[in-house]
Amino acid sequence: MSKPFDLKFIPFSALHISKLNMRHSETAPEIDDILPSVKERGIRQPLIVRREGGTAKKPKYGIVAGRRRYFCLSAIAAEGIEIADVPCCVMDAKDDALAIETSIIENVARLAPTEMEQYEAFKVLSDKGQSIDDIAAVFGITPHSVKRRLALGSLIPDVRDAYSNQQIDAASIRALTMATEEQQAEWLALFNSDDYCPTGNQLKAWLTGGGVITTDKALFDVSTYGGDILTDLFGEHGQFADTEHFWESQNAAIADAIEAYKADGWKEVILGERGHYFPRYNHVLHPKEQGGRVYVEIRDSGEVTFYEGYIADAEAQKIRRALSNGETEGAKATTTSKPEMSGPMADYMNLHRHSIARAELIKRPDLALRLSVSHMICGARNWKIDGKSPRSRKPETQASVEASKAEAILGEERQAVCDLLGLSMEHPQIYYRHHSPYDVCEIFARLLTLEDADVLRVQAFCLCETLAVDSSEVEAIGILTKPDFGDYWSPDDAFFDILRDKPTINLMVKDIAGKSCADGAVTDTAKMQKQIIKNRMAGHGVEDASPDWLPRWAAFPAKSYKAVKGCAPAEASRGLEKLFSPASTDSQE
């Protein structure tokens, strides 16, 4: 507990401004408002001083509170007027903390000190061992206000000086209290340059390398968050230092919420694109029991809103018309899910599957012979050999197929068959669309000279050339030969360019990277999720690469991600596995 003050009259010459006075280093204060009163009546309010230096017989005293009154006396003395001993309250010379408190209280009562002056004073008290609560109680302010001032201590000296000189505004200095020393130095260099320098809220976004996402936007438990959170003592909430890390946790929480909605009986949960607002103006409320959906709106600020029980207005009108016509079956909302495969993707996969089946069929003349006979009996779409190779409407898909291993095998075999038949290199193809440059009898005569095995080889190749794309025969050959799909094909740029359906892409991420990674990326763009797959295949950011990963479609029979009906290869394979099972083929022999 501090000792009480002693009242003494001290010679003016024994007084000086104490270094513990919070304004000791400032220039001379304005005294015009009180100088006339001091000249007329003298010092009526004692100065607060403490013993500082001097000798036992001639002690010196430092003024802790009363600086302006001291400067008034100095001005009077400069006019040649003798100064009487000055009334002073002498405090304990050893109580530095009390001296600082007294100086601040006296100055606050007269003129509010700046934030930086308050910081410097509070820091001295804190260094003397006083707690934040103690400092707050002395000055009648909240502990949070003390924390705000002490937060200025995280600023590097150059930034503090610029703020003290009023070069940096308050909003920017508060944002800089959340920055590292390196970030402060980088920002200050930018501030002193001619380049654009972010300030205020833009500075907060600059510190995180993106938008500002505050902790109140999190769906997850912030106390379990593994990333850094910037404490904003001047704002209501902290902010996430790494927005990408935030979105990983937020996406996982969104995925959990979606699963909970589905478990609760909601027919569909529609996940909107990040940054796109849910157009509630063209949607209406609709009961869950009649197909109402949950729409998830995700804003760039991190805020997530779940709109429960909505359908599109156009769909609601259709339901009302059905009810007015007594059509109860049409009075329910229909599913909005898109097929997992787009038309171009089905075209892409079917052409590659066609090439692989043909390349496998070349190795099995026995199968080719029997399939030829089946074509002769039942007919076939391409039985007329016209030499027109199957083509895609997309140049990228065509280039992908032509560069594939399966097509290379077919090309080699085409040349080998030409050699068997004695055809010149001038005409590498066996036939043309409208007419053949070769005489039938010439080919027939050549075939008569070949062994049966060679004839079967030619027949197998010709059958391969007539095998129709996206046909059940392609799937049957794949089921019977069981090729290693990855030996012929792996996902290329054309595949990823065509791949568009986000839910399907997310399921592919789950296949290659696991559920937690897929959940963490659930709101990412299709492009970002496809990049995850590419990175995993290449081994970027993971210990073990997955270069041999294939989508479920790349198998015989094909497997769908969502529904067979939305996956063309899986639909073409339906029922064939049972038809061509060993037990089934044995029973037919």
Q: Both tokens of residue 397?
A: 């898909």
b/e 112-139 (16+ beta carbons within 10 angstroms → b):
ebebbbbbbbbbbbbeeebebeebbebb
Give the residue carrying structure tokens 């029997």: 370
Number of separate helices (H) and strands (E) present in the chain: 27, 11
Signed CA dihedral, 156, 160, 163, 165: sign only: negative
Whole-Å CA distances, 57 to 7, 88, 514: 18, 18, 84
DSSP letter, residue 214: B
Q: Both tokens of residue 62?
A: 């430092």
Q: Which helix (H) or strand (E) holds 307?
A: strand 304-312
pLDDT (0 to 100) of residue 1: 42
Q: How confident is the model at residue 363 (pLDDT cuts 50, 70, 90)?
A: very high
Q: In whole numbers, what is the pLDDT of the chain averaged over residues?
A: 81
> Which residue would you say has higher pLDDT here, 32 or 515?
515
pLDDT (average), residues 229-253: 80
Q: What is the pLDDT of residues 37-73, one digit of tens each?
A: 788 778 878 888 888 888 888 999 998 888 888 999 9
Q: Do 215 and 230 touch, CB atoms closer than 8 A?
A: no
Beta partners for residue 98, in sequence order: none
Q: Both tokens of residue 533?
A: 């797959």
pLDDT (average), residues 331-352: 80
Q: Looking at the predicted structure, is the pLDDT value of residue 98 above 70?
A: no
pLDDT (0 to 100) of residue 320: 83
DSSP letter, residue 34: T
Q: Do 355 and 404 touch, CB atoms closer than 8 A?
A: yes
Cα angle 415-420-425, degrees, rounded to a multiple of 5: 45
pLDDT (0 to 100) of residue 108: 46
Beta partners for residue 306, in sequence order: 296
pLDDT (0 to 100) of residue 533: 95
Say what percent of the chain tops pLDDT 70. Answer: 83
pLDDT (average), residues 272-287: 87
Ordered by where they begin, the domains of the chain are 6-161 (3.90.1530.10), 245-330 (no CATH), 343-471 (no CATH), 493-587 (no CATH)
Cβ neighbours, 10 Å, residue 380: 18
Q: What is the pLDDT of residues 399-450, one digit of tens each?
A: 998 899 998 998 888 888 888 877 765 554 555 444 555 666 777 788 888 8
pLDDT (average), residues 7-16: 90
Q: How confident is the model at residue 114 (pLDDT cuts 50, 70, 90)?
A: low
Closest of 567, 545, 546 to residue 558, by C-alpha: 567
> Which residue would you say has higher pLDDT here, 352 or 107?
352
